[in-house]
């Protein structure tokens, strides 16, 4: 871990001395293993020590320069990966710590997985080696100008021509333009394009096609292909390093075998044929992508909380009325009540993300064995976790910025750019509201099947205990009773189930089910959130119950788990009260215990964010420096701005001087 420059005072040393646990072991608990800590350490230091990966000037670069800088970093990263013969794990971490959105994210994160999941063995043998060696650069062209979440409404067409054994790719309308795919604007040579497959005059719906977009000789667009960047986006630096693109086809022909044919194919004669591979296998790729998004949520929120905790521990404001030293901002209860739940959430999202990795493996194995019994539950779980964690993270980063006061508004704090880079996650790979409504529909279906005796599985298994959960009473009598994992789990299960049952009953009273689902959609969102929050709380409890080495580590994780759960009780108290899961007095006891937990976390706060093991380079924040030497860094950073290149600004002679010298022609008033 970087600890500031040579000779600098570690202003946070006193905070670290108060830690009541083994920070090194907490790093292992966070990362998953000692091996993971060591590999992350090496890759983080490798990036931080390389001047090519400098990023402190990123928010000051014009868009063209920023994109060129992204190309340079991506090429240099690949060079280092090859030179050092890095493993896939090491290469992924190196790209993570470079910390600059770019075309490689979509190449590795979407293009390659799409071919793996939807391509035949022959197609994989042809295309994947080219992608692995970067002999082609790919992106994922699904979203259009007129349609995003409604994939079935996409307008791009792929019409088969049996005379030439080709598909004709075409954009029939302005709204059929592919819009938003990362890497498409300037970098990609190929794309997996999703289009309506038309053969023998019949529309067979959306299918994937591998389409070359640019020449491999001079990178110019191929005939019939119109493409470019869609323009600047929210924030300075941030996601503007990504070349999100627009793409239109004018009757572009591709060979028939460039249709991704693992699940279905078109014969030379134009016949549409299903393969014997079950279409449900596509869900494996979906689970993989969403698992990655949940893991990214934890990384982003942990970065923000690391910055806010360290700065709050260093910053002092006001003090006792009688005089004396000023108070550390982190000692204020208002700061703790806003910041510590975010710290707990970062840990919670990390551990549920670990569990999602296991779920991906489990679902994949079952799908390959043609066991689809857990598929619906896995879809609900991954969709809901993507929605809840990304929304909470986006809101949490912004809250951390506010918690850093005025200095948090500066680009040098790292928080504005972190927010602007992260917030697209609330929309891509499924709009969060749309995903939560999908979860709610599955929950309503599960509730409707309870009377038939069908037992829910996986994360929905608690619903099978419907008779008990619909009438059980919370057994909490003291504030300390809220520290019981069993009490917490039961009250979250009762809340989720009762909200789902109540909503299902209200839908049944509607003239039709579809009308009921439409009218009650706001309630359905809350039902889905309650279910997903139960999953996160449950997985956090299960993590704490594991055998965790290191003195004091388990106790601190238990405190964080309780903070996360009781903060949700506080935030959604209306749900718990209105469903009869607890009394108002029990809600007050939960708040009382929450305050005690904040006090217990306070001496350990800095050490808990140290456990994330982030270098100063990766954090990219003068406020979140490991050594806490914030004010000199803020002062020095200000002078780096191009506006300070000269003491007299450009435009002085044309605009300021005439005004100051009263040489402007003034109209009569």
Note the pLDDT tens digit of each residue in 591-632.
Answer: 999 999 999 999 999 999 999 999 999 999 999 999 999 999
Domain identity same for 428 and 357: yes
Helix, strand, coil percentages, rounded to 5, for the chain: 60, 10, 30
Pair 117, 247 in one domain:
yes
Which one from 354, 377, 398, 429 is the annotated catalytic residue? 429
Judged on CB neighbours under 10 Å (0-12, 13-18, 19+), 8 is middle
Q: Which of 53, 55, 37 is nearest to 610 (CA)?
A: 37
CA atoms 622, 627, 630, 636: torsion sign: negative
The burial class, CB within 10 Å (0-12 / 13-18 / 19+), for 514 is exposed
Same domain as 374, residue 326 = yes
Interval 476-495: pLDDT, tens: 999 999 999 999 999 999 99
Whole-number Å distance between alpha carbons of 537 and 490: 11
Predicted pLDDT of residue 632: 94
* 570 within 8 A of 590, measured Cβ to Cβ: yes
Same domain, 182 and 302: no
User: Does residue 342 belong to any structural domain of this protein?
Assistant: yes
Instruction: Give the model confidence (pLDDT) of 393-412 as tens digits.
Output: 999 999 999 999 999 999 99
Q: What is the pLDDT of residues 11-22, one digit of tens each?
A: 899 999 999 999
What backbone phi and psi angles, to 5 degrees, belong to 232?
-65, 150
**CA distance linking residue 408 with residue 635, whole number of Å:** 14
Contact 533, 564 (CB under 8 A): no
Domain contains 305? yes
Sign of the CA dihedral with 385 first, then 391, 394, and 400 last: negative
Helix (H, G, I), strand (E, B) or coil at 194: strand
- Residue 6: predicted pLDDT: 40
pLDDT at 663: 60
Supply angle C-alpha 428, 520, 143, rounded to 5.
20
Alpha-carbon Rg for the chain, nearest whole angstrom, is 27
* Residue 382 sits in the same domain as residue 405: yes
478 belongs to a structural domain: no
Taking the C-alpha atoms of residue 592 and residue 665, their distance in angstroms, rounded to an integer, is: 68
Lowest mean pLDDT among 339-348, 394-403, 427-436: 427-436
DSSP string, 482-532: GG-HHHHHHHHHHHHHHHHHHHHHHHHTSSSHHHHHHHTHHHHHHHHHHHH
What integer pLDDT is reported at residue 2 of this predicted model? 46
Please tell me whether residue 168 adopts helix, strand or coil conformation.
strand
Compute φ and ψ for 295, nearest 5 degrees.
Answer: -60, -40
Place of tokens 């982003």: 300
**How far apart, in whole angstroms, are the C-alpha atoms of residue 616 and residue 624?**
8
pLDDT per residue over 114-123, tens digit each?
999 899 999 9
Q: Give kind and range of the element (H or E) at residue 444.
A: helix 432-449
Q: What are the Cα distances from residue 99, in Å, to 82, 307, 417, 581, 584?
A: 19, 16, 11, 44, 46
Q: Using an 8 Å Cβ cutoff, are 297 and 349 in contact?
A: yes
Q: Looking at residue 264, which CATH number applies to its domain? A: 2.40.110.10
Query: Do residue 270 and residue 289 come from a single domain?
Result: no
Span 539-571, pLDDT tens digits: 999 999 998 988 899 999 999 999 999 999 999
Higher confidence at residue 283 or residue 162? 162
Residue 667 has pLDDT above 80, yes or no: no
Query: Residue 647: which residues within 8 A CB-CB, separation 6 or more?
Result: none
The enclosing H or E element of 209 equals: strand 202-212
- 121 and 240 in a single domain? The answer is yes
* Domain of residue 424, CATH code: 1.20.140.10
- CA–CA separation, 526 vs 617, rounded Å? 39
Q: What is the token pair recorded at 97?
A: 């710590």
Name the band, by pLDDT with cuts 50, 70 and 90, for residue 81.
very high
Closest CA to 191 of 111, 285, 108: 111
pLDDT computed for residue 8 by the predictor: 64
β-pair partners for 192: 140, 210
For the residues 328-339, what does the mean pLDDT come to?
96
Domain annotation covers residue 631: no
Residues 402 and 379 in one domain: yes
Same domain as 325, residue 221: no
The DSSP bridge partners found for residue 179 are 246
The upper half-sphere exposure of residue 642, i.e. CA atoms within 13 Å in the direction of its Cβ, equals 8
Residue % of the chain over a pLDDT of 90: 85
Q: Does residue 231 fall inside a structural domain?
A: yes
Of 428, 454, 443, nearest to 380 (Cα)?
A: 443
668 pLDDT higher than 60: no
Give the SS3 label for residue 373. Answer: coil
Shared-domain flag, residues 439 and 549: yes
Burial 33-60 (b: 16+ CB within 10 A, else e): eeebbebbbebbebbeebeebebeebbe
* Strand, helix or coil for residue 640: coil
**Cα pseudo-dihedral 141, 147, 148, 154, rounded to 10:** -50
Rounded to the nearest 10 degrees, the angle between the axes of helix 375-403 and helix 333-368 is 160
- Asked if residue 3 has pLDDT above 90, the reply is no
- pLDDT value for 665: 59
Range of the domain at 228: 112-276
Asked about 429 being catalytic, the answer comes back as yes
Give the span between the Cα atoms of 189 and 184, in whole angstroms: 8
Instruction: Report the pLDDT value the prediction gives residue 23, as an integer from 0 to 100.
Output: 95
User: What residues form the annotated binding site for FAD?
Assistant: 143, 182
Which of 593, 610, 627 is the endpoint of a domain? 610
* Domain-located, residue 106: no
- Average pLDDT value for the chain: 93
Residue where one domain finishes, among candidates 247, 276, 305: 276
Is 84 within a domain? Answer: no
Q: Which residues contact 331 (CB under 8 A, 6 or more apart)?
A: 602
- Residue 1 clears pLDDT 50, i.e. is over it: no
Task: Report the candidate in 191, 178, 193 with the shortest Cα–Cα distance to residue 228.
Answer: 178
The answer to whether the CB of 527 falls within 8 A of the CB of 568 is no
| Percent of the chain predicted with pLDDT > 70 | 98
Same domain (yes/no): 244, 359? no
Examine residue 32 and state whether it is found in any structural domain, yes or no. no
Tokens at 616, concatenated: 């100063």
Bind-site residues = 143, 182
Q: How confident is the model at residue 111 (pLDDT cuts 50, 70, 90)?
A: very high
pLDDT digits (tens, 9 = 90+) for 32-47: 999 999 999 999 999 9
Domain count, the chain: 2
- Measuring CA to CA, which residue among 299, 244, 298 is closest to residue 99? 299
pTM above 0.85, yes or no: yes
219 and 325 inside one domain: no
Strand partners, 199: 202
Q: Which of 232, 248, 276 is the last residue of a domain?
A: 276
CA-based torsion, 510, 512, 513, 514: positive or negative:
negative
């Amino acid at each position: 871990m970087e600890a500031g420059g040579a000779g600098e005072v570690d202003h946070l040393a006193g905070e670290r001395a108060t830690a009541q646990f083994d920070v090194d072991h907490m790093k292992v608990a966070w990362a998953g293993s000692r091996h993971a800590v060591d590999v992350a350490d090496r890759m983080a230091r490798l990036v931080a020590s390389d001047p090519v990966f400098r990023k402190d000037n990123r928010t000051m670069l014009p868009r063209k320069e920023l994109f060129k800088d992204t190309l340079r970093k991506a090429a240099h990263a690949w060079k280092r990966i090859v030179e050092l013969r890095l493993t896939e794990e090491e290469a992924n971490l190196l790209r993570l710590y470079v910390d600059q959105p770019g075309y490689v994210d979509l190449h590795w994160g979407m293009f390659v997985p799409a071919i793996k999941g939807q391509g035949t063995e022959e197609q994989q043998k042809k295309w994947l080696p080219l992608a692995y060696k970067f002999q082609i650069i790919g992106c994922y062209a699904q979203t259009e100008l007129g349609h995003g979440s409604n994939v079935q409404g996409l307008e791009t067409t792929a019409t088969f021509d049996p005379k030439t054994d080709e598909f004709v790719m075409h954009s029939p309308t302005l709204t059929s333009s592919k819009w938003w795919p990362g890497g498409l604007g300037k970098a990609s040579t190929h794309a997996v394009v999703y289009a309506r497959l038309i053969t023998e005059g019949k529309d067979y719906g959306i299918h994937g096609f591998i389409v070359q977009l640019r020449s491999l000789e001079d990178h110019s667009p191929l005939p019939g292909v119109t493409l470019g960047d869609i323009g600047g986006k929210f924030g300075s630096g941030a996601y503007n390093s990504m070349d999100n693109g627009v793409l239109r086809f004018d009757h572009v022909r591709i060979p028939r075998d460039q249709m991704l044919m693992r699940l279905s194919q078109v014969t030379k004669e134009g016949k549409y044929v299903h393969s014997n591979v079950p279409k449900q296998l596509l869900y494996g790729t979906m689970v993989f992508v969403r698992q990655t998004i949940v893991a990214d949520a934890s990384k982003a929120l942990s970065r923000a909380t690391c910055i806010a905790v360290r700065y709050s521990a260093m910053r002092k404001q006001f003090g006792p009325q009688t005089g004396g030293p000023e108070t550390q901002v982190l000692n204020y209860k208002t700061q703790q009540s806003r910041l510590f739940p975010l710290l707990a959430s970062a840990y919670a999202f990390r551990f549920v993300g670990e569990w999602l990795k296991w779920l991906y493996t489990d679902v994949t194995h079952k799908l390959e064995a043609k066991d689809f019994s857990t598929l619906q539950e896995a879809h609900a779980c991954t969709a809901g976790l993507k929605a809840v964690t990304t929304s909470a993270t986006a809101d949490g980063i912004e809250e951390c910025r506010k918690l850093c006061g005025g200095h948090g508004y500066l680009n040098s704090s790292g928080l504005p750019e972190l927010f602007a880079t992260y917030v697209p996650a609330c929309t891509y790979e499924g709009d969060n509201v749309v995903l939560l409504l999908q979860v709610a529909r599955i929950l309503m279906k599960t509730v409707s099947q309870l009377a038939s005796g069908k037992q829910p599985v996986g994360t929905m298994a608690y619903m099978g205990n419907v008779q008990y959960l619909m009438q059980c009473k919370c057994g909490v009598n003291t504030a300390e009773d809220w520290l019981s994992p069993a009490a917490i789990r039961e009250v979250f299960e009762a809340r989720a189930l009762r909200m789902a049952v109540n909503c299902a009953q209200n839908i049944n009273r509607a003239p039709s089910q579809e009308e009921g689902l439409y009218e009650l959609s706001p309630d359905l969102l809350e039902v889905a959130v309650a279910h997903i929050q139960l999953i996160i709380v449950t997985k956090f409890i299960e993590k704490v119950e594991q055998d965790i080495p290191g003195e004091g580590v388990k106790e601190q994780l238990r405190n964080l788990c309780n903070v996360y759960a009781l903060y949700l009780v506080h935030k959604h108290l209306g749900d718990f009260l209105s469903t009869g899961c607890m009394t108002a007095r029990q809600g007050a006891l939960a708040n009382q215990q929450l305050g005690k937990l904040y006090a217990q976390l306070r001496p350990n706060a800095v050490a808990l964010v140290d456990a994330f093991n982030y270098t100063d380079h990766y954090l990219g924040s003068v406020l979140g420096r490991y050594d806490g030497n914030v004010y000199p860094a803020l002062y020095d950073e200000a002078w780096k701005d191009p506006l300070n290149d000269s003491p007299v600004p450009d435009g002085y002679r044309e605009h300021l001087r005439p005004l100051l010298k009263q040489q402007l022609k003034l109209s009569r008033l």
